[in-house]
Amino acid sequence: MTVTQTADDAGRLTSPFGWEQHCCLPVQAECDIAPLRRYLDAGVSYLSVNVGFAPHDIDASMRVLGSWRRQVLLSSEFALVSTVEKMLAAQQQGRLVVGFDLEDTNPLGGEIGMIQAYYDLGVRSMLMTYNGQNLAGFGCHAPQDTGLTSFGRAVVEEMNRVGMVVDVSHCGYRTSMDALERTASPAIFSHSNMRSVWDHERNIRDDQARACAATGGVIGINGVGIFLGDNDISVAAMARHIDYAVELVGPQHVGIGTDFVFDTDDLSLELANAQIFPASYRSGRQVDFFPPEQLAPLEAELADRGYPAADIAAIMGGNFLRVARQVWKPAASINQPTDNRGE
Structural domain spans, the chain = 19-330
pLDDT at 179 over 50: yes
Domain 19-330: homologous superfamily in CATH:
Metal-dependent hydrolases (3.20.20.140)
Long-range CB contact pairs, 204-209, < 8 A, 24+: 204/176, 205/173, 206/248, 207/177, 208/168, 208/173, 208/176, 208/177, 208/180, 209/245, 209/248, 209/249, 209/253
pLDDT one-digit tens code per residue, 107-152: 999 999 999 999 999 999 999 999 999 999 999 999 999 999 999 9
Q: Where are the beta strands (DSSP E) in the chain?
A: 19-24, 46-50, 78-80, 96-102, 123-127, 165-167, 188-189, 218-221, 254-256, 260-261
pLDDT one-digit tens code per residue, 238-288: 999 999 999 999 999 999 999 999 998 888 888 888 888 888 787 767 899
pLDDT at 24 over 50: yes
Cα–Cα distance for residue pair 7/30, rounded to 1 Å: 35
**How confident is the model over 4-9, as a mean pLDDT?**
49
**Residue of 10, 13, 1, 2 whose CA lies nearest to 300:** 13
Cβ atoms 276, 106 nearer than 8 A: no
pLDDT one-digit tens code per residue, 282-329: 776 789 999 999 999 999 999 999 999 999 999 999 999 999 999 999
Cβ atoms 220, 187 nearer than 8 A: no
**127: phi then psi, degrees, rounded to nearest 5:** -75, 150
Residue 137 has a pLDDT of 98
**48: phi then psi, degrees, rounded to nearest 5:** -105, 130
Return the half-sphere exposure (C-beta side, CA atoms, 13 A cut-off) of residue 326: 17
Confidence class for position 340, pLDDT limits 50, 70, 90 = very low
Within the chain, what is the greatest distance between any pair of CA atoms?
55
pLDDT one-digit tens code per residue, 29-83: 999 999 999 999 999 999 999 999 999 999 999 999 999 999 999 999 999 999 9
Residue 331 has a pLDDT of 61
Return the half-sphere exposure (C-beta side, CA atoms, 13 A cut-off) of residue 244: 20
Contacts of 117 (CB under 8 A, 6+ apart): none
Cα–Cα distance for residue pair 139/53, rounded to 1 Å: 12
Residue 277 has a pLDDT of 86
More confident residue, 338 or 242: 242
Cβ atoms 128, 171 nearer than 8 A: yes
Mean pLDDT over all residues of the chain? 93
Helices 150-162 and 173-182: crossing angle in degrees, nearest 10, is 40
pLDDT one-digit tens code per residue, 194-226: 999 999 999 999 999 999 999 999 999 999 999
Return the half-sphere exposure (C-beta side, CA atoms, 13 A cut-off) of residue 84: 14
Residue 280 has a pLDDT of 79
Residue 268 has a pLDDT of 81
Describe the chain by its helix, strand, coil percentages, rounded to 5.
40, 15, 45
**Residue of 100, 25, 24, 33 whose CA lies nearest to 62:** 100
Cα–Cα distance for residue pair 24/219, rounded to 1 Å: 18
Polymer length of the chain: 343
Residue 9 has a pLDDT of 61
Amino acid at 202: R
